[in-house]
Amino acid sequence: MESVFAILAEPNRRAIISLLISSQQSVGEIERRLRMPQPTVSKHLRVLRDAGFVEATVDAQRRLYRLKPEPLQELDAWLAPFRQFWPTHLDALERHLDRVEPPIPTKQKTRRGK
Amino acid sequence: MESVFAILAEPNRRAIISLLISSQQSVGEIERRLRMPQPTVSKHLRVLRDAGFVEATVDAQRRLYRLKPEPLQELDAWLAPFRQFWPTHLDALERHLDRVEPPIPTKQKTRRGK
DNA sequence: CATATATATTCCTTGACACGTATATGCTCA
DNA sequence: TGAGCATATACGTGTCAAGGAATATATATG
């Protein structure tokens, strides 16, 4: 479970991280808001903490978890060399995201005009 | 295997994608440069193609694979809300990681206080 | 046609990991 | 001290995906 990507591959972990954007949260708050069993939350938080995505402060029995930026910055750094490929600007992306990619027929070479 | 993150969780797939930054490559070239068995390369390319990370053109028996930007832009879009957490000045990590960054003039976004 | 080359696919095994359930640890307060 | 809440961990189980070996498909060439 080394890489930043492997950590983020888990949807529930991404949900937790996204939830923490607004502010720090206790385990119980995360549990309620994401409707996730408590052990599940704790286990994912453990993974996220070990990977440096979050840190916790102890508040009596509660633990308040908050984001740490470093791993996400690392992700951004990884992404950087690819930015040269992007078309002009963000508008093309939004068009793409709402569309389903059609399957690619490998059969014949139909040449179609546009 | 839906999410962009799940696709990128595999180190060999990241290696392939990073290799394709320089230019398009045939399966055989990828195989040689990454010292990966040919079926492994083909299988990962299949996953990458299905997920829209790459596309291929047929050149006789060869297939030339090249990058497609959309999924990586999607990743960047996911990352966007987290950028507000990054330290305003460059800290040690960012200096360390940013050596890879090409000299692209970065457009400064409007900064939002909380 | 036969053969070589390039790539894709299939089958099988194995290991990682996410989940549920149960239980453990730890803190607070009466 | 004990009760009760908040969080963490242990264990067993099922699923899914990656890797290796073998084979299939497709194209070029002699």
CA B29, CA B65: separation in Å to the nearest integer?
Answer: 10
Does pLDDT of A108 surpass 70? no
Contact with chain B for residue A104, Cβ under 8 A:
yes
Tens of pLDDT, residue by residue over B55-78, are 999 999 999 999 999 999 999 999
Mean pLDDT of chain B: 85
pLDDT of residue B90: 60
- Distance set, CA B18 to CA A94, A114, B45, B72 (Å): 24, 32, 13, 12
pLDDT tens sequence across B79-105: 999 999 887 666 565 555 554 444 444
Q: In terms of CA atoms, which chain B residue is nearest residue A81?
A: B101
Query: Taking CB atoms and an 8 Å limit, are A74 and B93 in contact across chains?
Result: yes
pLDDT value, residue A98? 57
- Residue in the structure block whose two tokens are 């996220």: A48
A66–chain B Cβ distance below 8 A for any pair: no
Residues A33-57: pLDDT tens digits?
999 999 999 999 999 999 999 999 9
